[in-house]
Amino acid sequence: MQKTGTLLITGGAGYIGSHTVKHLLKQGEKVVVVDNMVFGHREALDLDRVTLVEGDLGDAELMDRVFAEHQPEAVLHFAAYAFVGESVEQPLKYYQNNVTAPLALLEAMKKHGTRRFIFSSTCATYGNPQYMPMDENHPQVPVNPYGASKLMLERILLDCGVAWGLQSVFLRYFNASGGDLEGEIGEDHTPETHLIPRILMAAKGEIEHITVFGTDYATSDGTCIRDYIHVNDLARAHALALNHLRNGGETTAVNLGTGRGFSVREILATAEAVTGRPIPVSYGPRRAGDPPELVANPAKAKEVLGWEAEYKDPRQHIESAWKWIAGPRGGRYRSSGQ
């Protein structure tokens, strides 16, 4: 298949964005990253091969310049704030960054004729699960501003499709986890709130213990069940979503998950086995806004994109995350990002 041009990756210096950039470079794609470096890390990118534009998506003048210079064929849009709890406390920050700022990006796409958009959406657009596993027809009733902001952008992209022919793929991620198998790049968030990195930080002694949020859910062992999707599988799905659009595929929404759920206790037990270390645990109350179970029905991803998760065993996720956290960089980039 013909590779038709430069790819513009927003948020490409962040966790999922940087793993996708690495995958796309291996496939011979040409990549320009736009990142405001609030959560991005320069070291997450191979700057010999990637053009990095440090700046904000909401900067209309900058967007116009970037599009004029690089004439991107497609945009892969990762840049967003993604802390659910913070979005409840500071909704305007989320609507500004996740909904308003991308409008300048879309204006530049419209003006410069870029008609392909791959969007990092989320299962948080569904809200509280009404049935399990969740397919793409599940009602979208987000229960926090983060999910609402992602759903709003989905709607905006649909409207741009009608008005000026934008073709989009909404990739609704479940729980992204794991790291690069070569240990070169990984997850470095400040603050780190996600389960697997926090468990591994506890295994390493960086934090005193991990708190399990709730043991009284109506699940097999009382703890929450999630569908953990390896970041490399996410990266591959982006490349396949791009193929879909390059082949003339229609705008569509696709869940990205393994179709299998694991409880917090199961993840803890696996992490103890992988690291060979005891992990100090305390048990706390439920975290607000956590549904008991979130598991994807990934059938449509297979049908439409030819995608299926390769890393279905949480052991693989934990091993690759441990490689990064226990590796020479200790799970941290030296510079930039928060």
Return the residue of 51, 90, 100, 193 that touches ligand UDP, per CB under 6 A.
193
Q: Under a CB-based contact definition with an 8 Å cutoff, are residues 106 and 99 in contact?
A: no
Nearer to ligand UDP among residue 31 and residue 148 (C-beta):
148
We find the least distance from the C-beta atom of residue 228 to ligand UDP, in angstroms, to be 8
333 belongs to the binding site for ligand UDP (CB under 6 A)? no
- Segment near ligand UDP (CB under 6 A); pick from 52-60, 156-164, 180-188, 206-214: 206-214
> DSSP per residue over 148-210, as a string?
HHHHHHHHHHHHHHHHH--EEEEEEE-EEE---TTSSS----SS---HHHHHHHHHHTSSS-E
Residue 146 bears catalytic tag:
yes
184 is a contact residue toward ligand UDP (CB under 6 A):
no
Applying CB under 6 A, does 309 fall inside the site for ligand UDP?
A: no
Q: 300-335 burial, b if ≥16 CB within 10 A, otherwise e?
A: bbeebbebebebbebebbbbbbbbbbbeebebebee
Which range in 62-70, 90-98, 180-188, 207-215 contacts ligand UDP by CB under 6 A? 207-215
| Cross-strand bridge partners of residue 210 | 281
Give which of 259, 262, 131, 123 is closest to 195, Cα–Cα: 262
Q: What is the DSSP string of 126-142?
A: TBS-SSSSB-TTS--B-
Distance CA 9, CA 66 (A): 12
Interface pick for ligand UDP out of 76, 212, 254, 309 (rule CB under 6 A)? 212
Residues 241-280 that bind ligand UDP (CB under 6 A): 264
- Smallest separation (angstroms) from ligand UDP to the CB of 308: 22
Residue with smaller CB distance to ligand UDP, 110 or 287: 287
Considering the complex, what minimum distance in angstroms separates the CB of residue 230 from ligand UDP?
14
CB 264 to ligand UDP: min, Å: 5
Q: How near is the Cβ of 333 to ligand UDP at its closest, in Å? A: 20
Binding window for ligand UDP (CB under 6 A); candidates: 27-35, 146-154, 209-217, 301-309: 209-217
The one among 21, 134, 195, 241 contacting ligand UDP by CB under 6 A:
195
Catalytic residue, chosen from 94, 126, 146, 228, is 146
| C-alpha–C-alpha distance, residues 41 and 263, integer Å | 31
Does the protein bind ligand UDP through residue 295 (CB under 6 A)?
no
Q: How far apart, in whole angstroms, are the C-alpha atoms of residue 317 and residue 66?
A: 36
Torsion of CA 48, 54, 58, 63, to 10 degrees: -50
Q: Is 95 near ligand UDP (CB under 6 A)?
A: no
**Best CA proximity match to 287, nearest among 196, 201, 215:** 215
Q: How many residues bind ligand UDP (CB under 6 A)?
A: 15
Nearest to ligand UDP of 64, 86 (CB atom): 86
If DSSP codes are grouped into helix, strand and coil, which group holds residue 59? coil
96 lines the binding site for ligand UDP (CB under 6 A): no
Please answer whether residues 264 and 224 qualify as being in contact, where contact means their C-beta atoms are separated by less than 8 angstroms. yes
d(CA 312, CA 262): 11
Selected binder of ligand UDP within 175, 232, 258, 270 (CB under 6 A) = 175
Phi, psi (deg, nearest 5) at residue 210? -105, 135
Q: Pick the piece of the chain touching ligand UDP (CB under 6 A) from 3-11, 129-137, 193-201, 240-248.
A: 193-201
Side chain identity at residue 115, one-letter code = R
Residue of this chain nearest to ligand UDP (CB atom)? 224
CA–CA separation, 140 and 24 (whole Å) = 31
Q: Residue numbers of the site for ligand UDP (CB under 6 A)?
A: 84, 175, 193-195, 198, 210-213, 224, 226, 264, 287, 290
Catalytic residues: 146
